[in-house]
Chain A
Amino acid sequence: MDILEQLNYWAAISLAMVGLFTIMSRGHLIKKLIGLSLFQTSVFLLFITIGKLSGGTAPIISKDFLYYSNPLPHVLILTAIVVSIATLAVGLALSVAIKRTYGTGEDDELEDLDRNEGEP
């Protein structure tokens, strides 16, 4: 096993972990959503790497080529990209709504506001 051969998987895992760490440790809601989109692209990287065939070309059938990369992960990831923009749009709308209602976008301030509201 060559280390270089596994490097794409490790890059996907490190991107996913950077995204996960951002979601858990940063307080601002929009920064959490940026971390979420890093996590999503890391999954795309994993799938497209699995679909790659070395010496192959893009899966558009032509007489000049014999080997093609696997088209199925490409289709799945096309769907996933569109779903990721949908989740991002809903998350951003939610954070705009929270900012308008509470006046802040930081999650520890939101917790304080909720706690103070509970005990009048």
Chain B
Amino acid sequence: MDQKKYKGEKKIDLYINIIILIFVLLTGIAAVWLRNLVASAMLLGIYSLLMATLWVVLDAVDVAFTEAAVGAGITTALLLFSIWLTGKHEKKSTKKPWLPLIGVIATGGLLIFGTIGMPDFGDPNAPAHLHVAPYYLQYSVSQTTSPNVVTAVLASYRGFDTLGEVTVIFTAGIGVLALLTGLRRRRRSQKLEIKK
């Protein structure tokens, strides 16, 4: 690939990325701004779908699939279900927002100061591209016969990570079940007391 073509492709990637980022920021801010929680949940779904588009632009196709299914699908369904159970209107908060605002601006300023040392967008000499990634890209087909490197790393090289992830999902499932069924039992015993 010659140098000129390389530069041109870089610009296009960057511009599409920035245009989608603007939409992502707008929907994200709108999702937390609104006081109607159903509208918030729907906007969060749109936000996740835009994020999935952004992942495709940034070459992370597997992440895009997962984000579209989990972020835009399951998250929205779970949110709508729990809003249905708890009521959709948010009360206007009586707390003064000044202390959180100062804290957030200070933290954000420090973090932006920290990005001075970060590599440019898509820089091929960034430290992240020089460490272990070239090994995966070079040997994954011969060692695991999977042409998709993400699958190879997820299931083979970092299989223990995936085991830990499954453990987290199992624990979360037990937690949700314990929270919701324990509640039903307590309510039934309260009803029995009232009858007595």
Contacts and interface: CB of A to CB of B under 8 A. Distances in A.
Interface of A: 1-2, 4-11, 13-22, 24-31, 33-35, 37-38, 41, 44-45, 48-62, 66-79, 81-83, 85-90, 92-97, 99-101, 105-106, 108-109
B107 A51 contact: no
Nearest to B147: A61
Interface string B151-164: 00110001001101
B176 interface: yes
A107 B43 CA distance: 23
Contacts of B74: 85
A34 B31 contact: yes
Interface of B: 1, 5-6, 9-10, 13-14, 17-18, 21, 24-25, 28-29, 31-32, 37, 40-41, 44, 47-48, 51, 54-55, 58-63, 66-67, 70-71, 74-75, 78-79, 81-83, 85-87, 90-91, 93-95, 97, 99-101, 103-105, 107-108, 111-112, 115-116, 118-124, 126, 128-129, 132-133, 136-137, 140-141, 147-150, 153-154, 158, 161-162, 164-165, 168-169, 171-172, 175-176, 179-180, 183, 187
Given A7-B21, A78-B154, 15 more contacts: A11-B21, A13-B111, A17-B104, A24-B99, A27-B90, A31-B32, A54-B123, A54-B124, A59-B137, A67-B1, A82-B70, A85-B75, A88-B78, A95-B86, A105-B86
A72 B78 contact: no
Nearest to A67: B1
B121 A52 contact: yes
Interface of B is mostly: helix
Q: Which of A5, A77, A93 has the most CB of B within 10 A?
A: A93
23 contacts: A5-B120, A5-B121, A6-B118, A8-B17, A16-B108, A24-B104, A34-B41, A48-B54, A54-B123, A55-B1, A59-B148, A60-B149, A69-B59, A71-B133, A74-B62, A76-B161, A78-B150, A85-B70, A85-B75, A89-B176, A92-B79, A94-B179, A96-B86
A84 to B, nearest CB: 8
Contact of A81 (B32, B67, B161, B180): B67
Nearest to B138: A61
Q: Which of A50, A74, A97 has the most CB of B within 10 A?
A: A74
Contacts of B164: 79
Contacts of B60: 48, 51, 58, 69, 73-74, 77
Given A51-B128, A81-B66, A92 B1 contact: no
A81 B70 contact: yes
A26 B93 contact: yes
A70 B153 CA distance: 11
A95 B168 CA distance: 20
Contacts of A13: 108, 111-112, 115
Contacts of B61: 58, 60
